[in-house]
């Protein structure tokens, strides 16, 4: 475990590094978000080839999309610019003027954002009267997945025709992303908005993640707990919850059904994660025991307060100028991890039985990480314990982990440098999946 803020090489590359995405824009006011999406995908290391319908050009210019993607934007099937089979204009390979064929060859996905109601209807019927729909029809289905980000008025979205189309498109193997809810450009409020660029980006990264936890139900605790002294004061700690939230995101990307029990933190909920907010250790225990019944993996990353005030006052403790200081006494909080790990299913998980609950503990230490982590793993009764240095990680974006099981010790990142919690969470999820027999 050495100095922090040092990135490993694999972290420096973006999360879409090496991916070639064809970004299609159909007509809709949400086209402005496609500009941001294009930029975000490029920033994550993807090459992006933009194709726009004539309708899209009423909302967004080709010049803007060309500048953001760094590539010529195509809009017509009659465009006679030679384009080669990996989508680069005048690049290597045999070029011809068939953009509807060549633009998708070698692509990792076509993303249509915004995808209008009309464009979905066209895709459904296999119509091909302009370049974008023609290109979708002509794509090699087995190699180039099609992902749609619908964008429309709430009535259009709710219309049975649209809902029928969505269901049929999904049956045809097309991925239809969720829609957002809220104020619409037309002034109405409801479902049908296109997701924000960062949400589509997150869905795209998830789309490409190997589904190593498919079928698993993962329960995670994260963040600090808050132990009330009176209605306005309490005791907590510096845990930010970032590690647990990052694990929840990585687990959902790996195909798991994820429940995140969060102490008081202000982090956004990762997409697709079910979040249960709690305050005290006792609340966290109740929620954890309840959801552990349905889980197959339990990851306890929360920094649970070890003690709570013995009596929480019903009313604010007053100073009232008396000069006396309140005397607090404490009682020990329940150990959530030990309670669950030492339940019948937890014990089965420890001995590797298929219907057991696989429990993963964390250890926040300030010294002797390896020895403390090994001792804590045995004391809690878990097959895997993840050690980290508490004062160095609380509130930070970077961390370094030590994975300790009955026989082995493994550093993450591998060569002892610190790495982002995002990267570490992905590695930890892959490690857990491999332990359960599903290597990524
Ligand atoms: N934990 C828990 N409930 C508690 C205390 C800890 O579930 N009341 C869990 C944490 O989420 C973590 C692991 O137990 O997964 C270890 O937590 P840590 O604070 O490092 O250790 P403690 O058990 O509190 O032991 P100590 O204070 O002696 O280091």
Given a contact cutoff of 8 angstroms between Cβ atoms, the answer to whether 177 and 142 are in contact is no
Q: Is residue 104 part of a domain?
A: yes
Prediction pTM value:
0.92
- The protein residue with its alpha carbon nearest to ligand 1, atom 18, reads 363
Closest C-alpha among 347, 377, 344, 341 to residue 362: 377
Three-state secondary structure call for residue 12: helix
Ligand 1, residues at Cβ distance < 6 Å: 221, 281, 300, 302, 304, 306, 333, 335-337, 361-364, 376, 380
Q: Is residue 4 part of a domain?
A: no
CATH number of the domain to which 316 belongs? 3.40.50.10300
Q: Number of structural domains, the chain?
A: 2
Given a contact cutoff of 8 angstroms between Cβ atoms, the answer to whether 23 and 41 are in contact is yes
Residue 134 token pair:
């023609």
Q: Which of 177, 208, 239 is the last residue of a domain?
A: 208
136 labelled catalytic: no
pLDDT at 85 over 70: no
Confidence of residue 92 (pLDDT cuts 50, 70, 90): low
Q: Is residue 250 part of a domain?
A: yes
Mean of pLDDT values over 310-335: 91
pLDDT digit string (tens) for 116-147? 999 999 999 999 999 999 999 999 999 999 99
pLDDT value of position 94: 65
pLDDT at 182 over 80: yes
Three-state secondary structure call for residue 149: strand
Which position has the higher pLDDT, 3 or 179? 179
Does residue 285 sit in the same domain as residue 310? yes
Range of the domain at 247: 217-435
Count Cβ atoms below 10 Å from residue 365 Cβ, excluding itself: 18
Does residue 109 sit in the same domain as residue 243? no
Closest C-alpha among 223, 227, 226 to residue 330: 227
Q: DSSP per residue over 288-338, as a string?
A: HHHHHTT-SEEEE--B--SEEESS--SSPPP-TT--------EEEPP-HHH
pLDDT at 80 over 90: no
Atom of ligand 1 at shortest distance to CA of 386? Answer: 15
Does residue 193 sit in the same domain as residue 226? no
Query: Active-site residue among 38, 115, 136, 186?
Result: 186
Question: Using CB atoms within 10 A of its CB, is residue 55 exposed (0-12), middle (13-18) or buried (19+)?
Answer: middle
Does residue 174 sit in the same domain as residue 317? no
Does residue 163 sit in the same domain as residue 309? no
Does residue 124 sit in the same domain as residue 142? yes
pLDDT digit string (tens) for 270-299? 999 999 999 999 999 999 999 999 999 999
Does residue 15 sit in the same domain as residue 76? yes
Q: Is residue 2 part of a domain?
A: no
CATH number of the domain to which 95 belongs? 3.40.50.1950
Does residue 310 sit in the same domain as residue 424? yes
pLDDT at 88 over 70: no
Does residue 160 sit in the same domain as residue 221? no
Does residue 359 sit in the same domain as residue 262? yes
């Amino acid at each position: 475990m050495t100095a922090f803020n040092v990135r490993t090489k694999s972290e420096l590359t973006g999360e879409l590094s090496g991916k070639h995405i064809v970004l299609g824009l159909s007509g809709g006011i949400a086209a402005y978000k496609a500009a941001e999406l294009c930029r975000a995908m490029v920033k994550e290391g993807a090459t992006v080839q933009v194709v726009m319908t004539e309708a899209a050009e009423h909302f967004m210019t080709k010049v803007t999309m060309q500048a953001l993607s760094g590539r010529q934007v195509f809009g017509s099937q009659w465009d006679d610019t030679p384009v080669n089979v990996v989508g680069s204009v005048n690049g290597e390979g045999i070029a011809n003027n068939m953009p509807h064929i060549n633009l998708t060859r070698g692509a990792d996905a076509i993303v249509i954002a915004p995808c209008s109601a009309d464009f979905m209807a066209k895709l459904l019927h296999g119509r091909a009267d302009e370049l974008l729909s023609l290109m979708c029809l002509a794509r090699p289905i087995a190699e180039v997945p099609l992902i749609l980000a619908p964008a429309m008025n709430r009535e259009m979205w709710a219309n049975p025709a649209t809902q029928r189309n969505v269901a049929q498109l999904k049956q045809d193997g097309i991925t239809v992303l969720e829609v957002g809810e809220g104020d619409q450009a037309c002034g109405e409020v409801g479902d049908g908005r296109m997701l924000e660029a960062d949400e589509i980006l997150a869905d795209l990264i998830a789309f490409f993640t190997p589904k190593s936890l498919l079928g698993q139900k993962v329960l995670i605790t994260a963040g600090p707990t808050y132990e009330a002294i009176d209605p306005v004061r309490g005791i907590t700690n510096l845990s930010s919850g970032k590690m647990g939230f990052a694990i929840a995101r990585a687990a959902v990307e790996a195909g798991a059904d994820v429940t995140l029990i969060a102490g008081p933190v202000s982090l956004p909920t990762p997409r697709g994660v079910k979040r249960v907010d709690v305050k005290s250790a006792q609340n966290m225990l109740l929620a954890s025991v309840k959801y552990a019944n349905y889980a197959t993996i339990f990851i306890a990353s929360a920094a649970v307060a070890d003690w709570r005030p013995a009596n929480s006052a019903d009313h604010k403790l007053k100073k009232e100028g008396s000069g006396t200081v309140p005397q607090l006494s404490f009682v020990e909080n329940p150990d959530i991890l030990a309670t669950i790990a030492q339940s019948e299913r937890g014990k089965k998980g420890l001995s590797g039985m298929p219907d057991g609950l696989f429990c993963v503990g964390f250890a926040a230490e300030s010294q002797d990480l390896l020895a403390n982590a090994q001792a804590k793993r045995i004391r809690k009764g878990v097959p895997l314990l993840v050690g980290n240095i508490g004062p160095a990680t609380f509130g930070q974006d970077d961390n370094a982990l030590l994975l300790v099981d009955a026989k082995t010790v493994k550093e993450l990142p591998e060569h002892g440098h610190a790495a982002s919690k995002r990267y570490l969470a992905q590695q930890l999820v892959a490690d857990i999946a491999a332990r359960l027999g599903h290597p990524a």
